[in-house]
Amino acid sequence: MQDDAPETTPALTGYDCIQGYLRMLDSSPGVYRMLDAESRVLYVGKARNLKARVSNYSRPGQHSGRIERMIRETASMMFLTTRTETEALLLEQNLIKQLKPRYNVLLRDDKSFPNILVAHDHPFPQIKKHRGAKTEKGDYYGPFASAGAVNRTLNQLQKAFLLRNCTDSTFASRSRPCLLYQIKRCSAPCVGYINEAEYAESIADAAQFLSGKSTAVQEILATQMAEASQAMEFERAAALRDRIRALTSVQTAQGINPRGVTEADVIALHLEQGQACVQVFFIRANQNWGNHDYYPRLAGEDDAGKVMQAFVGQFYSDRDPPRLILLSHGLEDPDLMADALASKIGLKVEIAIPQRGEKAELVEGAQRNARESLARHMSETATQGKLLTGLAEAFELDTPPRRIELYDNSHIMGTDAVGAMVVAGPDGFEKGQYRKFNIKGTNITPGDDFGMMKEVLTRRFQRLLKEDPDRETLAWPDLLLIDGGAGQVSAVHEIMVELGVEDIAMIGVAKGVDRDAGKEEFHRIGKHPTALRHNDPVLYFIQRMRDEVHRFAIGSHRAKRAKAVGATPLDDIPGVGSTRKRALLAHFGSAKAVSRANLADLKAVEGISGSMAETIYAFFHEKG
């Protein structure tokens, strides 16, 4: 792959500019970028033949209004050649997600989906929710459309198979069964109430169920229940009955379960009034594991095939596709897309537009949901647009804000301090853009809210300046809402001046008289404090945003505090991972006992070498 960007930027723009590049190009496959006069990326595209593709842009009178506008704004182009068109497609999708060009169809919500993980690194495997890279050893089942769908399934699986969900350190430190055993959600392997072989059978049953073989599992359990009843083991029979009921509950909760589709993603598109909704349903193990809706930014594109092509490419750019993808609309180049997706997983991927039967019914259901979701979204967006316009009018902003960022801190007497950032815009709260900041400053006085805010804002905007100094992407806010009065606004303004980004509008929201909601005062640099009338929708909008950042900050702080409570000093010893930590806790019973152990006792622990024993001993005895 080589970069063929010219050394000098042509002074010409539009068609003349594009024609100037034709003599430099050959028929190689690759990716092209169209840039405006300020070098901002307007569009990223791929081509089987770069010269032929760019030549199409050089001929006036053959393009839609959207493409004509893009060509007029083009002041330079960049090119990357690839070995194959498949490579070009994959590179195109990566660049689109990274650069977010104005004229590309963009998948704005890029969340990851949770899975269920049955871990393999323990004699009594843990079953838990997992999100992100699949780095842990074990079997993964998913994706599920939401954390709620995973939690409901895990809850029922615990009832059915009595599998543990505690961490390895908690497991190793137990001396008696926990509450989950008392309420019949766990078989208490931590204290030996079930042996390894019996627990392995439960794991195998759970794996069968998650793989779609639920009927076989239920038949086995029904047989065991009948045998227990005949043997007058009524307590065991009742436990088996409860497990069968739990499995039935899981199946009911899954909703529509297709018989003839074992594994597929169902993707349906609905276009209306220049907006789009894409619904993705996840079918795994013959079960519907939920759906998620997306509202891609179209940039004037109204061709369903092009929108679907862009969506599918970006959706799977960082996700593994299933073996079957069912679509409501055809792609521009389905064979190329199938090859690109197959290259990601090393297996054949089929892309189909079913016309009849169960698969067509699945697509029809997804498209109905897309149509209904878009209607709701357009209504909500119209309301949100009015609120943003009202906000701009109330505070004399040049235009309605496209991205609002709100910041808050949460801590208890300075401990476990967390900074939080919430984002709102035309589509409401952008939860995929929320960020939390673990406060790292060692020179911040405990409880110094301004010191914490300074660290958060400095880290946030230093990163933006590093990643996008020219403000080409939508990651830059055009309004900051600060929880505080004139003092906080002035202090934050000083930070922004220091960083060279003082042109971003900023409003401080103070509690007002008696700290009563509805009596808020609003502070801006160089202006007198103002207030909004008690029943103003813009006031409610600001209150809702402030409540959301408080909620997110407090939730992040509680999660950090809970993690700290479950931590032990063993976590900080170099070379002591989960296996050695488990061995130490099993041998000594607690982290405190490990800290008091002598060197000979540490060396006696299975899996702890002489040098590691010395490291552990030194950690506890050579401080200070």
CATH hierarchy code of domain 2-99: 3.40.1440.10
Nearest to 294 by CA among 325, 319, 268, 317: 268
Class of domain 264-376: alpha beta
pLDDT tens digits for range 484-536: 888 888 888 988 898 888 889 999 988 766 555 567 889 999 888 898 888 88
pLDDT for residue 364: 93
In whole angstroms, give the CA distance from residue 244 to residue 160: 7
**Structure confidence at residue 624 (pLDDT):** 40
Q: Which residues of 594-617 are buried (b: 16+ CB within 10 A; e: fewer)?
A: bbebeeebbbebeebeeebbebbb
Provide CATH 3.40.1440.10 ranges for the chain.
Answer: 2-99
For residue 79, the model assigns a pLDDT of 94
Which residues in the chain come in under a pLDDT of 70?
Answer: 1-11, 109-110, 212-218, 246-257, 411-415, 441-448, 512-518, 560-568, 622-624
Give the containing element (helix H, strand E) for 317.
none
Q: CATH 3.30.420.340 spans which residues of the chain?
A: 264-376, 404-564
Q: Where in the chain is the domain with CATH 1.10.150.20?
A: 569-621
pLDDT of amino acid 75: 92
Calculate the average pLDDT of the chain.
84
Distance CA 565, CA 533 (A): 45
Per-residue model confidence (pLDDT) at position 413 = 55
Secondary-structure percent of the chain, ordered helix, strand, coil, rounded to 5: 45, 20, 35
Query: What pLDDT is attached to residue 485?
Result: 85
| β 115-119/138-141 pair status | antiparallel
Q: Which residues pair with 291 in a beta bridge?
A: 281
Peptide bond into 143 cis (omega under 30): yes
The per-residue pLDDT for range 554-580, each reduced to its tens digit, is 887 777 666 665 566 777 788 888 788
Class of domain 404-564: alpha beta
In words, the CATH class of domain 569-621 is: mainly alpha
How long is the chain? 624
